[in-house]
Amino acid sequence: MKKRKLGSAGPEVPMICLGGNVFGWTVPEAEAFRLLDQAVDAGLNFVDTSDVYSSWAAGNKGGESESILGKWFASSGKRKDVILATKVGLEMGEGKKGLKPAYIHQAVEDSLQRLQTDYIDLYQAHKDDPETPLEETLAAFDALVKQGKVRFIGASNYSGARLAEAWETSRKHGLASYISLQPHYNLMERSAFETELLPVVEKYQIGVIPYYSLAGGFLSGKYRSQKDTENIARGATVQKYLNERGFGVVAALDEVAHAHGSTPARVALAWLLARPGVTAPIASATNELQLADLAAATTLKLDAESIQKLNAASA
């Protein structure tokens, strides 16, 4: 399958999407500004966030990541240099959630204000809303596209069946269609995407921007024991991978990284970039070294033997 670019023609180039979930959580505003400047300078010009980021952090209520990005756009003047993706639909408090038209129209205005921009490149449904007819949700998104507030729309956390239904609904009613899917997909989480979602994205030529591309940091190789996960923000996320299969995957990453003079994180991202359908894996960075891994992953080409080694270890 030829990988689909997100909304533009031209030659296909490997892309990594910078995850904005850490802004306002593990990365404070001043540090986020510095990392964003460095990311754009390194060619990492695709940034993904959400209205709900980072509501889970103590003292936050949601919107922190978008607000930091908005302040950076205003101070740096780099809005035009960035492909900006954000999302709508998760609980924002006071009944603010879901994909009903009235809420989508309210939520996009709130996001635009926080982001200090007049348009969003990729506006995504953060998860399916089975209580709202797809036609109503897609009509609301279509109106935003026609108004110029949104360039393209995407879906996140949809089942294969609902994604296909959404696409057929758009086709039937002449509405804007989802050009991208944001699924949970990495070397540790393969089954759901490869069995249920891949056939749908191939059929409809939908771009794929997987989240948790490094499995919460586990695939970077920095968590090799229970002790390594203590007193860190994502400790609970990676503990489930501390088993025979997980250690086998990390060992394979170490081997391939050594053979290529690279790092486990770069190899894990390069593996994703080589997968059918994948357009741009999402990964966050909290320091310059991690940012360097993201940038370098776009130029790392894995040979067939390396890919097979990783496939076997993660099967």
What does the pLDDT look like over 104-153, one tens digit per residue? 999 999 999 999 999 999 999 999 999 999 999 999 999 999 999 999 99
Q: Is 103 part of the annotated catalytic residue set? A: no
Q: Which amino acid is at 1?
A: M
pTM reported for the whole predicted model = 0.94
Question: What is the reported pLDDT for 232?
Answer: 67
Closest-CA residue to 154 (of 61, 23, 279):
279
Question: What is the reported pLDDT for 227?
Answer: 79
What does the pLDDT look like over 84-107, one tens digit per residue? 999 999 999 888 999 999 999 999
Cβ-contact 50, 86 below 8 angstroms: yes
Catalytic residue among 53, 204, 211, 212: 53
The fraction of the chain above a pLDDT of 90, given in percent, is 89
Question: What SS3 class is residue 278?
Answer: strand
The fraction of the chain above a pLDDT of 70, given in percent, is 94
Q: Is 7 left (phi over 0), alpha (psi -120 to 50) or beta?
A: left
Rg (CA), the chain: 19
Least confident of 75-79, 92-96, 183-187: 92-96
Query: Which two structure tokens, joined as six digits, stand for 255?
Result: 């081997």
- 55 CB-near residues (< 8 Å, 6+ apart): 61, 62, 64, 92, 93
| Greatest mean pLDDT range, 92-101, 234-243, 253-262 | 253-262
How crowded is residue 5: how many other Cβ atoms within 10 Å of its Cβ? 16
Confidence of residue 8 (pLDDT cuts 50, 70, 90): very low
Output the CATH code of domain 17-182: 3.20.20.100
